[in-house]
Amino acid sequence: MSLGGMAIAIGAMVDAAIVLVENAHKRLEESGPMDFIQRREVILDAACSVGRPLFFSLLVITISFLPVFALTGQEGRLFHPLAYTKTFAMAFAALLSITLVPVLLPFCLSGKLRPESSNPLNRFLSKIYHRPLEFVLKHRLRVLGLALLLLASTLLPLLRMGTEFMPPLNEGDILYMPTAAPGLATPEASRLLNLQNKKIREIPEVLSVMGKAGAAETATDPAPLSMFETIVRLKPREEWRDGLSWDSLVAEMDSATQTPGMANVFWMPIQTRTQMLTTGFRSNLGIKLHATNPQTLDLIGAEMERALATFPGTRGVFAERFTGGRYLDIEFDREKLSRQGLSIEDAATALESAVAGETVTEWIDGRTRIPITVRYSRDFRQDPEELARVLIPLPGGGNVSFAQIAQIKSREGPTSLRSENGQLLSYITVDSTEGDVTGYVAAADRFLKEKVQFPPGTWFEWGGTYASIQRARQTFALAIPATLALIMVLLLLNTRSISRTA
């Protein structure tokens, strides 16, 4: 996963060959002059003396990666390539250490060999190492006690250390995603977007700001008009103000863009897209709220949003709103329809032409054909009284208004619905300033259960990276003991002694 990890892996792979060469060189140095046959026998004896422990040590390193293969979901897709690469590399290194390396040793260690003492660097390093080694062997109990004391001193920081699924990768840009309640008008959305972009642009570290409100010009973007997405490009780090960190910059942006009724979310652009695809949340943390009806989802979600907004460590929180959509209910009077000689299909078609529109012709420009659709303007389409005046042609001639054959009523309803396992579901997006995800979730979970009263049939669970952490922990709870047991079996096969293995 990093250049440092690759360097360590390469060092572990060649370590067996280095030990074999060093051991054979030492044996040849101690044996004195000899012919090729004798030299080969000495090298073979040296390889046999350390080959078995080296082979099993490389197998232990290889098997230690087995828990990574048990990971599933996002964490599995992330770490499986590394585990496969390291496992195959170590497995072949173990195989070559007992096959190819012993064959090459007689040819590589031919001729006159210089003793280690003739090398100035070896003499210098041996002299430096000899005195500390003599000291620790003379004071074995003190050194062992000091090592145990140092180990014990790490327990308290270890217990207080938080956990996170994966540290954020600084992509150089910031994705700012504020969200408003449903029903935001287009002019107001444009005004708010320009106002927020202007405030962000005033920050010295910002290079450029590009934002949109609602869905992009693609069929795969389901974003409503109330969802903004703004890409904030930052200047190089050396041009920032002294002492300004990424968290401080985000906090400054959050303070500058505070808007009543809108929740701010700041994260990395690519990582946000990945989170949205894998978890459905627009940040690294979120809550799944389950209830039996949309009204309860809206009510409890709003209470949880207000409660979490006051909780320490919360930068922004937004609960989805399902109610707030405007619908037109049409109730046809069948008796009046039959009296006019009309069917429900005839009346519905006329209303559909007024609201959805009807293609009347095409504009042809070369090979391009553009359909021309005619329908009522927005003000007329959204007004039940205006729709009631729609004229429907009669079979025998003449027209009749829609109000004479049906009733049009306006009502509120859910704009969209989510479900999971047969139960309604809503998402609450949480943007936390804390790096310790598990610690924040544990404290926030207790806080919500104290502040919010959940009716029967309503419950919530945490999602996002916290769910990935919990899933990985459950997997490791089984995979790690099994791997340790397998390592013990390998050590037992190598030492052939239970006491030495223990």
Per-residue pLDDT tens digits for 363-406: 888 888 888 888 888 777 777 888 888 888 888 778 888 888 88
Look at residue 86 and tell me whether its pLDDT is greater than 60.
yes
Residue 264: what residue type?
N
Give the highest mean pLDDT range of 151-165, 410-424, 435-449: 435-449
126 and 174 housed in the same domain: no
Question: Do 203 and 157 fall within a single domain?
Answer: no
| 274 contact partners, CB below 8 Å, separation of at least 6 | 74
In this structure, which long-range contacts are made by residues 238-243, counting pairs with CB atoms below 8 Å and at least 24 apart in sequence? 239/205, 240/204, 240/205, 241/204, 241/205
Q: 206 and 258: one domain? A: yes
User: What SS3 class is residue 105?
Assistant: helix
pLDDT digits (tens, 9 = 90+) for 87-129: 888 888 878 888 888 888 888 877 777 777 777 888 888 888 8
Per residue in 241-256, pLDDT (tens digit) is 988 888 889 889 988 9
Residue 205 maps to which CATH number?
3.30.70.1430
Domain co-membership, 109 together with 226: no
| Same-domain status, 124 and 143 | yes
Q: Name the phi and psi angles at 243, rounded to 5.
A: 80, 5
Q: Specify the DSSP class assigned to residue 236.
A: P
Q: Calculate the alpha carbon distances from 137 to 11, 133, 140, 150 in Å.
A: 28, 6, 5, 19
Residue 402 maps to which CATH number?
Answer: 3.30.2090.10
Per DSSP, the residues of 253-283 read HHHHT--TT-B--EE-HHHHHHHHHHTS-SS
Residues 374 and 391 occupy one common structural domain = yes
**Final residue before a domain boundary, out of 356, 380, 413:** 413
Q: Is residue 182 domain-shared with residue 156, that is, in the same domain?
A: no
Residue 348: both structure tokens together: 């519905």
Shared domain check, 348 and 268? no
Overall number of domains in the chain: 3
Could you give the CA distance from residue 90 to residue 63 in angstroms, rounded to a whole number? 9
Report the length, in residues, of the chain: 502
Element (H, E) at 440: helix 437-451
393: nearest Cα among 401, 383, 403: 401
Residue 205 parent element (H or E): none
Residues 147 and 194 in one domain: no
- Distance between CA atoms of 61 and 15, rounded to whole angstroms? 12
CATH code, domain with 118: 1.20.1640.10
Which of 164, 196, 225 is at the close of a domain?
A: 164
* E-state strands within 279-367: 285-291, 314-319, 325-332, 358-365
Q: pLDDT at residue 440 above 80?
A: yes
Helix (H) or strand (E) holding 178: none
Q: What is the pLDDT of residue 149?
A: 93
* 238 and 138 within one domain: no
The residue segments making up the domain with residue 362 are: 325-413
Cα 254 from Cα 309, distance rounded (Å): 13
Residue 329 has pLDDT above 80, yes or no: yes
Cα separation, 389 vs 399, whole angstroms: 11
